[in-house]
C-alpha cells in the first residue's frame, strides 16, 4: 500500500484557506455567483475555497448555492488549474444533496463518487500524475451472531430464519449498526430475535465473503461470538424466525440441518465445554486509541502468562 493510504490517518490539518466572500472576487453577490466573461477578464478568476490536508489533498465543502452545472464546471476548471499548480495530489468535493447537480459538472473534469451518506455525496479526483492513491471507502458490512451456551445442560440457542429457503438451524444474529461493537451486536440481536438476555464472553469465528448478497456489491465479515445466558425463557420474533430452541450441542454438531459454519462452531463449543473455553476463545481487551481518544477492542488468544 502506498504511503497516502497506508498512513490510515487522513485528516485535515490546515485552516480554511479562504471563504467564498473573499474568493468570488468581483463577480460574487450574496447567495449567487455570476460569470460575466468581461468581468472575469478584467479581474482574477474566481476559485473554490478548500482546506488542505497533510497528504496534499484539498477538500471543498462550500459551494455557491445558486450556481448552475455549467457555471460550476467553469469554476472547477479554474480551481483545478490552480490546485495542480500548487501540486495538490487529490481533490475532494463534499456536495450537499440540494446541490447534487454539481456532481455531473465535476464528472466532466474526471471526478467520480467516492462515497455518499444521508444528505452529502463526496466526489474525488486524483490530481497528481502517476498511480491513483485515493484511499478507498468502507468495503465491508459486519454481521455478528451469538452462540448462547447454557453450560448447565450443554444446550445452545438456535433459530430458523423465516426468509431462508432452507430452514437450517443457526445462531441468532444480524448486521452491526455503525459504531456498534461486535459483542454489543451479538447481545442485541439475540435479544431482538429470541427474547433471551445474554452477555458477551468471547469471539469464536470469522467469515469473510466477497460479493455477498445484500451487501450492495461489497464484502461481508460475519463473526460468531460466545455468549452466556442471563435469561432462559424464549420469546422469539415471529417476523424473523419460524423456530427458536435450546438445542443440545452434540445434536447441533451432528445434524445436517444446519450451516457449515454453525456445525463447526458447535464442535468448537463442545470442545470448550469439555476442555475449557480458553481453548477456543478469542478474548477481548479494550485499549485507548491514540488519535481519537476513544477505545478500540482487540481480540486474540489469551496471552501466555494468563493461560
Does 6 help bind a copy of itself (rule: CB under 8 A)? Answer: yes
Does 59 help bind a copy of itself (rule: CB under 8 A)? Answer: no
Spatial distance between the Cα atoms of 294 and 292, rounded to a whole number of angstroms: 5
How many residues of this chain interact with a copy of itself, rule: CB under 8 A?
104
Half-sphere exposure of 161 (CA within 13 A, CB side): 14
Residue among 19 and 108 whose Cβ is closer to a copy of itself: 108
Applying CB under 8 A, the span of 25-33, 43-51, 218-226, 242-250 interacting with a copy of itself comes to 218-226
- Print the binding letters for residues 169-188 with a copy of itself: x by CB under 8 A, - otherwise: ----xxxxxxx-xx------
Does 156 help bind a copy of itself (rule: CB under 8 A)? Answer: no
Count of CB atoms situated within 10 Å of the CB of 130: 8
Residue among 88 and 212 whose Cβ is closer to a copy of itself: 212
Spatial distance between the Cα atoms of 249 and 299, rounded to a whole number of angstroms: 25
Residue among 150 and 161 whose Cβ is closer to a copy of itself: 161
CB of 254 to a copy of itself, least distance (A): 13
CB of 225 to a copy of itself, least distance (A): 12
Cell numbers at residue 239, please?
417476523
Does 36 help bind a copy of itself (rule: CB under 8 A)? Answer: no
Strand bridging mode 241-248 / 51-52: unpaired
Cell numbers at residue 90, please?
487529490
Does 90 help bind a copy of itself (rule: CB under 8 A)? Answer: no
The answer to whether the beta carbons of residues 137 and 103 sit under 8 Å apart is no
CB of 34 to a copy of itself, least distance (A): 20
Cell numbers at residue 14, please?
490546515
CB of 121 to a copy of itself, least distance (A): 5
- Give 174's strand partners: 144
Enclosing H/E stretch for 91:
strand 90-96
Amino acid at each position: 500500500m502506498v504511503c497516502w493510504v497506508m498512513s490510515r490517518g487522513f485528516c485535515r490539518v490546515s485552516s480554511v484557506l479562504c471563504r467564498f466572500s473573499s474568493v468570488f472576487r468581483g463577480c460574487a453577490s450574496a447567495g449567487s455567483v455570476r460569470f460575466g466573461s468581461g468581468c472575469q477578464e478584467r479581474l482574477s478568476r474566481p476559485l473554490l475555497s478548500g482546506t488542505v490536508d497533510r497528504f496534499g489533498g484539498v477538500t471543498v465543502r462550500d459551494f455557491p448555492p445558486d450556481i448552475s452545472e455549467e457555471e460550476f464546471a467553469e469554476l472547477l476548471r479554474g480551481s483545478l488549474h490552480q490546485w495542480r499548480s500548487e501540486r495538490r495530489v487529490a481533490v475532494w468535493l463534499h456536495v450537499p444533496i440540494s446541490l447534487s447537480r454539481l456532481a455531473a459538472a465535476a464528472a466532466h473534469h474526471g471526478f467520480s463518487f467516492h462515497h455518499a451518506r444521508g444528505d452529502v455525496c463526496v466526489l474525488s479526483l486524483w490530481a497528481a500524475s502517476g498511480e491513483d492513491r485515493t484511499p478507498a471507502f468502507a468495503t465491508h458490512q459486519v454481521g455478528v451472531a451469538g452462540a448462547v451456551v447454557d453450560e448447565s445442560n450443554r444446550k445452545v440457542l438456535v433459530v430458523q430464519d423465516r426468509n431462508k429457503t432452507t430452514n437450517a438451524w443457526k445462531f441468532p444474529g444480524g448486521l452491526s449498526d455503525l459504531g456498534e461493537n461486535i459483542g454489543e451486536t451479538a447481545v442485541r440481536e439475540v435479544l431482538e430475535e429470541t427474547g433471551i438476555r445474554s452477555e458477551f464472553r468471547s469471539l469464536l469465528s470469522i467469515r469473510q465473503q466477497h460479493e455477498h448478497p445484500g451487501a450492495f456489491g461489497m464484502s461481508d465479515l460475519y463473526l460468531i461470538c460466545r455468549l452466556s445466558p442471563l435469561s432462559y425463557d424464549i420469546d422469539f420474533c415471529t417476523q424473523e424466525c419460524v423456530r427458536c430452541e435450546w438445542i443440545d450441542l452434540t445434536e447441533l454438531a451432528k445434524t445436517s440441518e444446519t450451516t457449515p459454519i454453525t456445525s463447526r462452531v458447535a464442535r468448537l463449543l463442545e470442545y470448550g465445554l469439555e476442555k475449557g473455553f480458553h481453548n477456543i476463545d478469542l478474548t477481548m481487551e479494550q485499549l485507548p486509541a491514540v488519535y481519537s481518544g476513544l477505545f478500540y477492542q482487540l481480540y486474540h488468544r489469551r496471552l501466555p502468562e494468563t493461560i
